[in-house]
Amino acid sequence: MKSAQLAGSLQITGDMSVAEIIQLCPNARRIFDQHGLKGCGGEHGPAEPLSFFAAVHQADLNTLLNELNEEVKRPSGAKYVYHEALEDYIYRRFFKAGIAIVLSVGALWGAVNLLQIALGKSFLQLNLLPSIHAHAHAMIFGWVGLFVMGFAYQSFPRFKNTTLWRPDLANRSFYMMLAGIVAFMAAELLLPHPVALSFAAFASLVELAAVLIFLTVLYQTARKSLEPPNRYEKFIAGSFIWFLIQAVLNDVFFFAKATAITPKELIMRIALIDGPLRDIQTLGFAALIIAGVSQRFVPAVYGLGKPGRDRQNLIFWLMNASLLLDIACYVLFLKTHILFFAIGLEVAYILMPVWAILLARQLGVFRSPTQPDRTFKFIRAAYVWLIFATAMMPFFVIYGALTHQVFAHSYLGAQRHAFTVGFISMMILGVSSRVVPILAGVDAKKLASLWGVFLLFNFGSAARVTLQILTDFIPRAAYPLIGFTGFIEVLALAWWGIELWHTMNQAKTQRPKVLGAPFPIATS
């Protein structure tokens, strides 16, 4: 009787949180589900305001308010009972595995490699190569790959207002990917022992199968959707094509190394394949998915408004064309030494900061957010790092000439680190710290500011990039210092990872507040 009276006098407003509305009117969940909520925020729904939900799910706030108020006045059907399904929490295992990997065989392993480089006072220690390649594999497949897969399985069906096709298969792809990562790392370390080939063959098969399952599940999910295709989706499609290509090239790279007969042949093969492979992984797979998700997510979530001029298509073609030109000219120049291809490579490098600046402007990351949040500093910093890292590329050849090097290894290594840590990983930290509290139904305003993580991560990354370049000029001073920078980054990642893990666990443990708890109710 009392709740009927309450419902009669209640007016839902845009500043009420989704959790408050669901607590008051459980059937409202049906309406939220139609707009893509489906399990976000767990049993009680996210602590975000209704106006935020409408902006992120591209729903009209007034229509939503009318639907909700109608439901409150005249409840339709039986009481909604929430059941958590695999597709609602599948992201948690991907994110947790990603954290576990980055803090063990990923960044921590990389930090140990860097310490060995510092102790040996050289970035060119051939005996460290298997270990560095194992680290790179863990980072690309286990860190970037698992976060992308977990995020995609969770968010893309909601972006497309549908449900995940075959969550059981999606789940299988998780275990296959994990098995592949472990086996591949073992194969890298066991080379040149013949057993390495068996590990690599197994790893290649399961990783490739995991990627194909991932792509199939998302393709079928998109097919189920009635929503018209969105323009940002071509970035995501492009990224997935590069994801598949890099998985194949990664295996080719391994078998090319394993079958090299002389050390000279080994070095030539590494020189030929390593560059294109890493560029496909970072500038193709990672950068395109970040660009696509950013366009769907960043302006809406942080309230950055629309770009003055929409350049989505131009950015997309510049990103792909510069990468293709880069790969083609790199390979052809290495094979022929014809100057024309070196010029083509330089053109590709010049195009990279162009698309990076256009992308940052398109998103408006340098405007003031109307929805400020503790994670916005990560997003903005990531784009500063992106512009910085891509702006380093056109100077690669000039730098080599000035320092009398045929191949400026330290400069390129520093550039890669600026891209993989400053841009890619900074985005993973920022986006996950924004999304996970929403998915877990935790009020982000009550969580830590993450300033400590932010400062440490930026400091560690900036110190690494600067010191790696300085090893060309003042090696005696730069090498001992650079050995510490990896551990600073690992510390920042551990700080962030523990918080995120804890927030994910709250999704399982949170219990409802007592009904009738005070919250703003505007009476009509």
Residues in contact with ligand HEM by CB under 6 A are 107, 110-111, 113-114, 117, 123, 132-133, 135-136, 139-140, 143-144, 274, 278, 413, 416, 420-421, 424-425, 486, 489
Alpha-carbon dihedral 331, 334, 336, 342, rounded to 10 degrees: 80
Q: Report in angstroms the alpha-carbon separations of 315 from 299, 320, 361, 381, 524.
A: 17, 9, 11, 20, 48
Closer residue to ligand HEM (CB): 406 or 514: 406
Closer residue to ligand HEM (CB): 363 or 421: 421
Do β-strands 522-523 and 10-11 pair in parallel, antiparallel, or remain unpaired?
antiparallel
- Nearest-CA neighbor of 450 among 436, 462, 463? 436
Q: How many Å apart are CA 500 and CA 432, to the nearest integer?
A: 8
Shortest Cβ 136–ligand HEM spacing (Å): 4
Write down the H helix ranges in 441-474.
Answer: 451-470
Q: Which residues lie closer than 8 Å to 237 by C-beta, 6 or more apart? A: none
Shortest Cβ 129–ligand HEM spacing (Å): 8
Shortest Cβ 255–ligand HEM spacing (Å): 16
Can you give the three-state secondary structure of 103-146, one letter per residue? HHHHHHHHHHHHHHHHHHCCCCCHHHHHHHHHHHHHHHHHHHHH
Q: Which H helix or E strand runs over 182?
A: helix 167-190
Shortest Cβ 458–ligand HEM spacing (Å): 12
Closer residue to ligand HEM (CB): 113 or 432: 113
Closer residue to ligand HEM (CB): 117 or 329: 117
Closer residue to ligand HEM (CB): 42 or 422: 422
Tokens of 478: 């730069």
- Nearest-CA neighbor of 353 among 423, 427, 439? 423
Shortest Cβ 108–ligand HEM spacing (Å): 8
Q: Report in angstroms the alpha-carbon separations of 404 from 98, 399, 400, 408, 473.
A: 40, 8, 6, 9, 12
Q: How many Å apart are CA 315 and CA 356, to the nearest integer?
A: 8
Shortest Cβ 421–ligand HEM spacing (Å): 5
| Cβ contact 324:350 at 8 Å | no
Q: How many Å apart are CA 290 and CA 208, to the nearest integer?
A: 22
Q: How many Å apart are CA 423 and CA 388, to the nearest integer?
A: 9
Closer residue to ligand HEM (CB): 347 or 470: 470
Closer residue to ligand HEM (CB): 44 or 464: 464
Closer residue to ligand HEM (CB): 118 or 206: 118
Tokens of 401: 């000439």
Residue closest to ligand HEM, measured at CB: 413
Closer residue to ligand HEM (CB): 333 or 484: 484
| Cβ contact 213:244 at 8 Å | no
193 — alpha (psi -120 to 50), left (phi > 0) or beta?
beta
Closer residue to ligand HEM (CB): 136 or 319: 136
Shortest Cβ 416–ligand HEM spacing (Å): 6
Q: How far is CA 36 from the centre of its chain?
A: 21
Shortest Cβ 59–ligand HEM spacing (Å): 34
> What are the φ/ψ torsions at residue 515 (nearest 5 degrees)?
-60, 140
| Cβ contact 52:19 at 8 Å | no
Closer residue to ligand HEM (CB): 135 or 269: 135
Closer residue to ligand HEM (CB): 177 or 507: 177
Shortest Cβ 149–ligand HEM spacing (Å): 15
305 — alpha (psi -120 to 50), left (phi > 0) or beta?
left
Shortest Cβ 158–ligand HEM spacing (Å): 26
Closer residue to ligand HEM (CB): 143 or 235: 143
Shortest Cβ 114–ligand HEM spacing (Å): 4
Shortest Cβ 289–ligand HEM spacing (Å): 12
Shortest Cβ 406–ligand HEM spacing (Å): 16
Neighbours of 409 (CB within 10 A): 16
